[in-house]
Structure 1
Amino acid sequence: MADEIMTIREVASYLKLAEKSLYRYALEGKVPGFRVGAAWRFRKSDIDAWISKNIAEQRKAG
């Protein structure tokens, strides 16, 4: 399901990051996400696109 909505815990696990780091990245706007009340949520399709974009930028730079 491409438009699956994921929690901080799920995305942190998916990206192999600490939840605390992901929360900070989300607050800084470095990772695409949105808030529902006080909780952060992420669309899996947005995270996958963000990963692809970062990989492409790293290939161009390196």
Structure 2
Amino acid sequence: MSDRWLSVEEIAEHLGVSKDTVYAWIRRREMPAHRIGRLWKFKTAEVDEWVKSGGAAEEEGRK
């Protein structure tokens, strides 16, 4: 069941951040998200890889 698409609320809970943070990451940090109609959907494996590669790091720690 880990293959299912997650909502903004679910991915925010998975990462321990707010929904506002998720929306900001989509806009500014190229968080892997897929727009389906009006909704954003996420694959857990893609988001976890993005986090591991430093995508969610604070600005000072980024290249």
Measured against the shorter chain, the TM-score band is: 0.7 to 0.9
Instruction: Look up the match of 2:5.
Output: 5
> What is the DSSP-based 3-state SS (H/G/I as helix, E as strand, rest coil) of the residue aligned with 1:6?
coil
How high is the TM-score relative to the length of structure 2? 0.71
Q: Distance in 2 between matches of 1:38 and 1:45?
A: 22
Residue type matched to 1:52 in 2? K
> What is the DSSP-based 3-state SS (H/G/I as helix, E as strand, rest coil) of the residue aligned with 1:5?
coil
| Structure 1: unaligned runs, 5 residues or longer | 56-60
How high is the TM-score relative to the length of structure 1? 0.72
Larger Rg: 1
| Structure 2: unaligned runs, 5 residues or longer | 56-60
Q: Distance in 1 between matches of 2:40 and 2:6?
A: 9
Residue identity over aligned pairs, in percent, reads 23
Are the structure 2 counterparts of residues 16 and 8 from structure 1 closer, same or farther at C-alpha, using a change threshold of 3 Å?
Answer: same
RMSD: 2.3
Instruction: Look up the match of 1:28.
Output: 28
Question: More helix by proportion, 1 or 2?
Answer: 1
> What is the DSSP-based 3-state SS (H/G/I as helix, E as strand, rest coil) of the residue aligned with 1:31?
coil
Alignment size in residue pairs: 57
1:41-60 aligned within 5 A: 41-54=41-54
Divergent runs of 4+, >4 A: none
